[in-house]
Chains A and B, each alone.
Chain A
Amino acid sequence: MSDFGDYGGRYVPETLIPALDELERGWREALADDSFRAELHHLLTTYAGRPTPLTLAERFAPGKRIYLKREDLLHTGAHKLNNALGQAVLAQRLGKRRIVAETGAGQHGVATATVCARFGFECVVYMGEEDMRRQRPNVERMRLLGAEVRGVDFGTRTLKEATSEAIRDWITNVETTHYLIGSCVGPAPYPELVAELQSVIGHEAREQMLAAEQRLPEAVVACVGGGSNAIGIFHGFVADEDVRLVGVEAAGAASLGSGRPAVLHGARSSVLADEDGQIADAHSISAGLDYPGVGPEHAFLRDTGRAEYRVATDEEALAAFQELARTEGILPALEPAHALARARDLDAELILVGLSGRGDKDLAEVLERL
């Protein structure tokens, strides 16, 4: 079923299987259709603000050449819009005019609400109540954009439960609704589809890096929650075997570092789970990384040795957040602050870091902790 070794698959109720078949067919047709690519390219350049720049962070990492791929400068402030725009164009082709999505940090919710406003779609976003508390500005932004935000008040009240509720909504409204999943997780074909839509990050960055340095980076570093920004930037370099791919997880949500093979949200991957297959709780200061699962392609890249995965603690992320603000005048989101923390002590000199989003949404959480 998948190209990710033992990972991936479609572990969902029968009700959804025909919709996944339809999505897969629609996706293959779109990929082969120049007009789909042209429409998406037009939106990415005239609406989203692509290409995003590459910034050399000299003061942040003296003695190294760390380049930041500036997805924080994309419209809505994070890489999530690449995927949301692509899926919106796809939903339109499929004739679906109602969109459901889950969100953790709120960045995917905002991106989804944004494209729904742009396309005139009805939009419902599920969000854990704990995340609504710590990402309040994004809740307000989604509402201003016309989305309905539905709080999820059970379980961990974070991204895991929000995702389950979004899938339950999709099961109930599958005839009219497209599930605009926010990361490279979920049943096939979502992991592959989201990776393809996010690969624009890596393809752009590779060209920009060659233009700036006339060589490829020694390492590409990106934070991993579900893993969409990491898979997007990795895809630009996965064929360059000398380029190290380094994913950085939150220490309390290290699905790749300390997980085991298990099934969550429709796919088999590396998951924080107990020996009975019950899903464990993740813990991170960063709502976007606070997820016990990860995209199946990351589990595959880990097992094959093509990518390596490390962790950063809440404190390390906070320190990197402050350091980037004071040395470069950039407030990163807490999620890529994890990648920044590991990039600085990586045994490499020329490094590309995926700066997946900006930190405005995190101010309340950061100020509380400093």
Chain B
Amino acid sequence: MSTSNPARGVSGKKLVIYLVAEPETPDLAQAAVEGGADVIELGFPFSDPLAEGPVIRRASERALARGMRTHACLDVLERTRELLPETPIVPMTYAAILEAYGYERFVTDARKRGATSFILVDLPVEEQPALRRIQLVAPTSTEERIRAAAEVTDGWLYLVSVTGTTGARTELSPTLPPFVQRVRAVTDVPVYVGFGISTHELARAAGGLADGVIVGSRAVEVAETGRDALRDFVASLRTALDS
């Protein structure tokens, strides 16, 4: 994956910003990239998202109440792709959505509409092996599972920084450094850290350990206050990662 904005990202650390698919999201995604995001993770909302804390759960409920079903989410993906021709865009969703839409059909349609890869938070590595996607590993993952995920992941590994759901944390988990080491010991694949990264301080700390950071819940909250606020927030993360 390449950065869309060569003027930024001098550290080489990737910044991934998560947003829930809603009608405003293409514009917000553009603001995030203006602020220095390298990758947009686009949440397709599910009614019962087991991995989400309150912020993304509420945002998902709101999006569903506004009619953001799979077809509408694919439309948002396509409009985001039109605004951001160079930026990797990765839909993140739950197996239930693909079960209903059809796994192969989803991959085909989403790629046609601009998806770079996929993240399926409740689809373990052994399920649907034909679906090439970014795999997740957690602090509880065994070495064997980390190795299996690294072997088949699409470009980078998503490290879940904590045992827990998504949502802002005030500090980095003390178990993150040994976890990153454990993953590095078995694979050379780039590792990006997500879950709980909410401030530029945490982004800097996580960026010191990993090849990229993923900011979700806090980005969703800031995006609710508008595109300028989101751009400035992302810029603060970018600066922290590059400093």
Contacts and interface: CB of A to CB of B under 8 A. Distances in A.
A19 B38 CA distance: 34
A263 B163 contact: no
Which of B50, B99, B101, B127 lies at the interface centre, i.e. has the most chain A CB atoms within 10 A of its CB? Answer: B50
A173 B163 CA distance: 7
For the residues of B in contact with A, the DSSP-based class is loop
B122 A13 contact: yes
Nearest to A18: B140
Given A11-B122, A171-B165, A275-B100, A18 B50 contact: no
Given A13-B136, A14-B141, A278-B64, A273 B165 contact: no
A11 B69 contact: no
A262 B100 contact: yes
Interface residues of A, number: 36
A278 B137 contact: no
B122 A15 contact: no
B51 interface: yes
B163 A155 contact: no
A276 B97 contact: yes
A320 interface: no
Contact of B94 (A167, A263, A275): A263
Interface string A276-295: 11110000000000000000
Interface residues of B, number: 40
Contacts of A266: 50, 122
Nearest to B52: A168
Interface in B30-82: 46-48, 50-51, 53, 57-58, 61, 64, 69-71
Given A168-B165, A273-B100, A14 B69 contact: no
A16 to B, nearest CB: 8
A327 interface: no
A322 interface: no
5 contacts: A13-B121, A154-B61, A160-B48, A171-B165, A277-B97
Interface of A: 9-19, 154-155, 160, 164, 167-168, 171-175, 261-266, 268, 273-279
